[in-house]
Amino acid sequence: MEKYLWIGFIGAVIALLFAVIQRKKVMSYSEGNATMQKIAKSIREGANAYLKHQYSTVAKVFAVVFVILAIIAFASGGSMLSKFTPFAFLTGGIWSMLAGLIGMKIATNANARTAQAASEGLNRGLRVAFSSGSVMGFTVVGLGMLDISLWLVGLYFIAGITDPVELGNIMVMNGIGASFMALFARVGGGIYTKAADVGADLVGKVEAGIPEDDPRNPATIADNVGDNVGDVAGMGADLYESYCGSILATSALGAAAFVASGDVEMQYKAVVAPMLIAAVGIVLSIIGIFAVRTKENATIRELLKALAIGTNLSSVLIALSTFGILYLLELDNWFWISCSVIIGLLVGIVIGQSTEYYTSQSYKPTQRVSEAGLTGPATVIISGLGLGMLSTAIPVLAVVAGIICSFLFASGFDFNNVGMGLYGIGIAAVGMLSTLGITLATDAYGPIADNAGGNAEMSGLGKEVRKRTDALDSLGNTTAATGKGFAIGSAALTGLALLASYVEEIKIGLLRLGETVLTFSDGKAIEVSKASFSDFMIYYDVTLMNPKVLAGMFLGSMMAFMFCGLTMNAVGRAAGHMVEEVRRQFREIPGILTGKAEPDYARCVAISTKGAQHEMVLPSLLAIIAPILTGLIFGVTGVVGLLIGGLSTGFVLAIFMANSGGAWDNAKKHIEEGNHGGKGSEAHKATVVGDTVGDPFKDPSGPSLNILIKLMSMVAIVMAGLTVAWSLF
């Protein structure tokens, strides 16, 4: 065990060193002329101010939750909750915050540099934006691996916890703080950016008829700030949580899967295997980074291909290395477990390619949405909704195939070997996220390119530069949608692994409360410590005929829609205030539209900040309260139903919303490229309306659902002891 723990540290150090090198490289590029620097400074100041407000609000909530967890843990003597959990909650949240903060810092320093680089050539602009995105990607995986390694070493060497099952289950608790922070970051950042975006588009583009990112638009700075706090800081925290959650949940399942064998060494190997795969994935993702190249005047499809080469190269290398890692580890059934990892990688690629097909203007589906603009906004909205619904088929089929194949491979093609099968599903999720360094680089690239386009427009760099930044921005819309699809897909596999971890935590909870034997209705008795996953399903009667399961499933499905309703209404209210403010400035400040007066950008920034801070708390708290109340009322059985309903409904709904939103955005871009009448045409105005409808779809609501799924699972795991001890039914 000891010799494997340090590999995680090595992987973390390599990732963070690469991030530092890439940051130094990005900062060496020119930030352009004085106007470009002034605009970049305004965006930085706005982003910093927002995150300061957000983190101060979240800190208060974290403090309250920490105290509650500490009271439960220490007052019960550790019987209801591990004494390590409150501290794991804090560290997970802090590291998640740092991941988003560092990513935002580099993004706000890169926008003007990308615009300046684009003035020198398309390939140079791509390199600067992508290098900036790589800082974000490798900061996330580096901090995630460092956090996991520190906790493993601390628990094993300092706390003296050597039982692999106990070690794995405590490690899972670390994910709750990361999930908690990620939800606040995603929801708050999403509300901020979309409030500004909707206001800027509806009043600026549609009513005033001025271009996107025109300096005469009062909301344009807030819009650019929003790209960073929502799509960079929010996404960073989101994928940090996904990355750590998949590794931790799979480690816990690995310890449980081999418990019947009595081979403690094999349990240790199963615990560290996900970490080793992820650590090697860091190095191989770096190789993929250097494979990204493109030619001048490349089309969107060619730019996408350039990024895909890097991602696919990393995936192939990780696939090959996995067999070597598990072979050298001498893990039982190593070959077929390696095949489960390959399945995870393939599912990730399929989801990414499917998302690209349905959201890129290079393909027919999005082109048909833009064509619908010829008949007005209503048909654009109908077309986008239909596209989003149809787009769920391929990701769902891919995930279903991935679940079945990874389960069968790891279980030795035995559906009754549930423990090993679930380990296979978990390690498939690790495989999907093993390329996160480069995958997140392509995702974070998107808002950086978007900001670069805004800087180019506001700085008056000319049509040729704007054409290049538009190409980079359009590519970014697709890569951002792909990143969201990737995160959502990983949530489906990780959610199943966390569900299994919940059952394991129920076992721990029973033992802590002194319950050593499970007595079934037929008189059969099994020791709790030796009971399998299937035994607990039978003991708690987790079947579709149990009304508590059905009640939980309906509640879980409702949670997905209720959460989206709250976040979309939040965007609507904040955007309404923004629209009123932009109209007021156009009306009351003479000379804005003629360029003789400067808009009050700060007022619009303040409106987005206030709206996001006010609206982000309720949806986030809902995700925490739901599993606790369900457990107290319906017990373990109801919570299992809640998690199943939330997972199945939330996954499909998230794909639908993210893809619809991405398609509406790129349909607008397709027309802005000169199709169907170009900018200012009636078709363009129709697609702008579609884009504003899609804004809350693709940012606060859809992508936040994957965090909701995992946060409810994490809360259920943490509160398992309370659920076992107290329930109404």
d(CA 140, CA 19): 10
Q: Output the CA angle 470-471-476, nearest 5 degrees.
A: 90
pLDDT of residue 296: 64
Query: In the numeric block, which tokens belong to residue 533?
Result: 């996953």
Average pLDDT, the chain: 88
3-state secondary structure of 517: strand
CA–CA dist 513, 41 (Å, integer): 57
User: How confident is the model over 111-135, as pLDDT tens digits?
Assistant: 899 999 989 888 788 888 888 989 9
Checking if the pLDDT of 145 tops 90, the result is yes
Q: What is the dihedral of CA 404, 406, 412, 416, to 10 degrees?
A: -50
Residue 156 sits at the vertex; the CA angle it makes with 150 and 158, to the nearest 5 degrees, is: 80
Are 575 and 198 in contact, with CB atoms under 8 Å apart?
A: yes
Mean pLDDT along residues 580-585: 92
Q: Is 599 left (phi over 0), alpha (psi -120 to 50) or beta?
A: beta
Q: pTM here?
A: 0.88
- Between CA 587 and CA 583 the distance in angstroms is 6
| Contact indicator for 663, 526 with CB cutoff of 8 Å | no
Confidence of residue 297 (pLDDT cuts 50, 70, 90): low
Going by C-alpha positions, the residue among 138, 340, 334 that lies closest to residue 243 is: 138
For the beta carbon of residue 591, count every other beta carbon within 10 angstroms. Answer: 10
Nearest-angstrom CA–CA distance, 377 and 48: 36
Tell me if 307 sits within 8 A of 36, measured CB to CB: no
Neighbouring-strand partners of residue 527: 517
Q: What is the DSSP string of 581-645?
A: HHHHHHHHSTTTTTTSS---HHHHHHHHHHHHHHHSHHHHHHHHHHHHHHHHHHHHHHHHHHHHH
pLDDT digits (tens, 9 = 90+) for 377-400: 999 999 999 999 999 999 999 999
pLDDT computed for residue 298 by the predictor: 67
Average pLDDT over residues 425-439: 89
- pLDDT given for residue 608 in this prediction: 87
Per-residue tokens: 671: 């027309």
- Select, from the ranges 89-98, 228-237, 397-406, the one with the highest average predicted confidence (pLDDT): 397-406
**DSSP character for 210?**
P
| 525 beta partners | 519
pLDDT at 445: 80
Q: Which residue has the higher pLDDT, 262 or 64?
A: 64
For 365-372, what is the mean pLDDT?
96
Q: What is the pLDDT of residue 123?
A: 79
- The helix (H) or strand (E) run that includes residue 519 is strand 517-519
CA distance 234 to 582: 26
pLDDT value, residue 300: 65
Residues contacting 344, CB < 8 A, separation 6+? 402, 406, 427, 428, 429, 430, 431, 432, 433, 434, 493
Separation between Cα atoms, residue 442 and residue 130, nearest integer Å: 7
pLDDT of residue 166: 78
| Lookup: tokens for 632 | 């107290």
Task: Indicate if the pLDDT at residue 108 is higher than 70.
Answer: yes
pLDDT band for position 360 (50/70/90)? confident
- Please tell me which of 117-126, 547-556, 617-626 the model is most confident about, judged by mean pLDDT: 547-556
Pick from 407-416, 432-441, 470-479, 569-578: least confident: 470-479
Give percent of the chain above pLDDT 90: 36
Token pair of 151 as six digits:
């906790």
Q: Is 94 helix (H, G, I), strand (E, B) or coil?
A: helix
Reported confidence tier of residue 491, pLDDT bands at 50, 70, 90:
confident
Rounded distance between C-alpha atoms, residue 48 and residue 50, angstroms: 5
What DSSP state is assigned to residue 675?
Answer: G
The CA-based dihedral angle spanning residues 534, 539, 544, 549, taken in that order and rounded to the nearest 10 degrees: -110
Distance CA(653)–CA(568), nearest Å, equals 14
Separation between Cα atoms, residue 554 and residue 559, nearest integer Å: 9
Task: Provide the token pair at 238.
Answer: 């989101």
Residue 418 identity: V
Q: Provide the pLDDT for residue 364.
A: 94
How is residue 360 written in tokens?
Answer: 């890129």
Burial 341-364 (b: 16+ CB within 10 A, else e): bbbbbbbbbbbbbbbbbbbbbbbe
Closest to 515 in 3D by CA, of 72, 80, 68: 80
- Tell me the pLDDT tens digit for each residue of 637-647: 999 999 999 99
Answer whether residue 363 shows pLDDT above 70.
Answer: yes
In this structure, are residues 266 and 260 in contact, taking their beta carbons and an 8 Å threshold? no
Sign of CA dihedral 197, 585, 43, 96: negative
Q: What is the pLDDT of residue 532?
A: 84
> Highest mean pLDDT range out of 121-125, 368-372, 430-434, 623-627?
368-372
Rg (CA), the chain: 25
Q: How far apart are CA 300 and CA 318, in angstroms?
A: 27
Percent of the chain beyond pLDDT 70? 98
Partners of 518 in the beta sheet?
526
Which of 54-58, 160-164, 212-216, 326-330: highest mean pLDDT?
326-330
The whole-angstrom separation of Cα 19 and Cα 132 is 9
